[in-house]
């Protein structure tokens, strides 16, 4: 079967461009045609940047015609999660309060995309201000899962994940505060990687929880993920949390094979709350790793049970501080009602501009930081966070990586969990601890349950993304899950 250009991976298209068998403008046209076909069903994009994208693709073709040597991902379309600043292109965070905001500058990762001559297709939908696990909290519209249009794509990077799986882009970028890259990657059957905190610059990422947020790739396979990470992993002095640490050649490291790796299985990630079909996928994945020459060992992460409650103190506390800047004065939405003073302006603007989940988290966070409760909640949560990090440090003394589910279940139906926020928060139980420890994690297609994709998650020590990619690539080459295509979006 001959694949359409929009169905191909970045590395396949890279080879076609290099051999002059296809033009960047032809790839772009293929993606735009595909968006026209399926976007009315999926609703991945908030804003398309067709004019700028076509001009950028034509520039790549002009340079290739002159015989210029270009970066590996030149000419490849990429979709941007709409909480990443794009100069001259609307950046909404899927919120009414920023619905018409056009940033005056590019985020660091956007600068990297332009330097590497990727083609920015547009901005993708998300849970408002990245607060959610299903993209149902978008203040604009709901994105649907390409495998089942009545199911969620995951969140908060649901628009990016759905766009990749529906072939509405070749690559996409997301942000991950508590699983927002990995969980939608699992639900949509693609690859999603959260780098080590500090590996990729957060400059220009609209802040949710500054000590947890990290930008990362969503791709069709592990090779694309390695190429993408290579393009964005860079020290940036404008981000005070960026770490000046050597960046290896991910593509070369990825191909070293799984043999000799020790992979840990933690019972804390296979207990109550994890569905039986997902557990089955994990145990089958462990067998695949063993067949490839890896050793599977038991490890313990006892403080994992406190990860959910700890996260939902720390993240809302940081959100309440970060979102105080939306006051109806400096930029963004302002209430149209006449008000007597600045306090009334502030309150009315925020009441009208923020959605229910954002308001909920601001209130929880403000309470946790308030006088008399700071020590009891926020300070205690930070101490538990340290214990969670120490858990991982101890575990990595006896293994190279840890294998877990990415999510406790396959994608659920739209509307089935919106009435119970606590039930929705449970969808993040496998991914939160990774953010609190600041370590890297990757989700890759690991199997299917009830006809829906199930991701497996690999967690590694800080700045060991190459080991994650090595194990992920080995598993991918031994299985066919990443090659499966959804039928719902194509019917």
The catalytic residues are 81, 156, 180
- The span from the first CA to the last CA of the chain, in angstroms, equals 18
| Number of Cβ within a 10 Å radius of residue 21 | 10
Q: Where are the beta strands (DSSP E) in 234-389?
A: 262-266, 295-299
Q: How far is residue 449 from each of residues 129, 159, 412, 413, 445, measured CA to CA in Å?
A: 30, 22, 12, 14, 12
For residues 337 and 349, is the Cβ–Cβ distance under 8 A?
A: no
Cα Rg for the chain, rounded, in angstroms? Answer: 21
Helices vs strands, H then E, count in the chain: 16, 11
**Tokens of residue 145, six digits:** 């899962």
Omega cis (within 30) before 156 = yes
Dist. CA 389–CA 426, nearest whole Å: 20
Q: Alpha helices of 397-447 — where are they, by DSSP H? A: 421-425, 432-437
Pairing of strands 262-266, 401-405: parallel
Element (H, E) at 283: helix 276-291
HSE, CB side, 13 Å, CA atoms: give it for residue 373.
11
Element (H, E) at 353: helix 342-353
Q: Which of these, 427, 422, 430, 424, lies nearest to 402 by C-alpha position?
A: 430
At residue 219, the 3 state secondary structure works out as strand
């Amino acid at each position: 079967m001959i694949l359409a250009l929009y169905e191909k991976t970045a590395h396949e298209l890279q080879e076609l461009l290099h051999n002059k068998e296809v033009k960047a403008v032809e790839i772009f046209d293929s993606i735009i045609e595909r968006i026209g076909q399926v976007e009315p069903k999926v609703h991945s994009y908030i804003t398309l940047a067709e004019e700028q994208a076509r001009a950028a693709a034509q520039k790549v073709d002009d340079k290739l015609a002159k015989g210029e040597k270009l970066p590996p991902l030149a000419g490849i379309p990429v979709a941007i999660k709409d909480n990443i600043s794009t100069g001259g292109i609307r950046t909404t965070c899927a919120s009414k309060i920023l619905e018409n905001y056009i940033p005056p500058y590019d985020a660091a990762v956007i600068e990297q995309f332009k330097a590497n001559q990727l083609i920015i297709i547009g901005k993708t939908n998300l849970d408002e201000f990245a607060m959610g696990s299903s993209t149902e909290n978008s203040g604009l519209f709901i994105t649907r899962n390409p495998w089942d249009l009545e199911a969620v794509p995951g969140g908060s990077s649901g628009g990016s994940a759905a766009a990749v799986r529906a072939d509405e882009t070749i690559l996409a970028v997301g942000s991950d505060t508590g699983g927002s890259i990995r969980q939608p990657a699992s639900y949509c059957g693609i690859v999603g990687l959260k780098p080590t905190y500090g590996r990729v610059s957060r400059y220009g990422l609209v802040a949710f929880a500054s000590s947890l947020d990290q930008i990362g790739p969503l791709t069709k396979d592990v090779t694309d993920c390695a190429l993408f990470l290579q393009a964005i992993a860079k020290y940036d002095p404008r981000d005070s949390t960026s770490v000046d640490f050597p960046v290896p050649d991910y593509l070369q490291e990825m191909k070293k094979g799984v043999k000799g790796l020790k992979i840990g299985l933690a019972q804390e990630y296979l207990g109550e709350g994890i569905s039986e079909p997902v557990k089955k996928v994990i145990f089958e994945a462990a067998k695949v790793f063993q067949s490839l020459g890896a050793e599977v060992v038991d490890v313990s992460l006892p403080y994992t049970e406190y990860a959910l409650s700890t996260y939902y103190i720390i993240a809302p506390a940081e959100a309440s501080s970060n979102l105080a800047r939306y006051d109806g004065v400096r930029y963004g939405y302002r209430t149209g009602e006449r008000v007597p003073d600045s306090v009334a302006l502030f309150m009315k603007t925020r009441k009208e501009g923020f959605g229910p989940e954002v308001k909920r988290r601001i209130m929880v966070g403000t309470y946790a930081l308030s006088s008399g409760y700071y020590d009891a909640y926020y300070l205690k949560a930070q101490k538990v966070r340290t214990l969670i990090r120490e858990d991982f440090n101890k575990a990595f003394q006896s293994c190279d990586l840890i294998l877990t589910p990415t999510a406790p279940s396959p994608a659920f139906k739209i509307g089935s969990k919106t009435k119970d926020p606590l039930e929705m928060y449970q969808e993040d139980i496998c991914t939160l601890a990774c953010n609190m420890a600041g370590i890297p994690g990757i989700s890759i297609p690991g199997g299917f349950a009830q006809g829906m994709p199930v991701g497996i998650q690999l967690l590694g020590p800080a700045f060991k993304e190459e080991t994650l990619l090595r194990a992920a690539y080995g598993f991918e080459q031994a299985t066919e899950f990443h090659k499966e295509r959804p039928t719902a979006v194509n019917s």
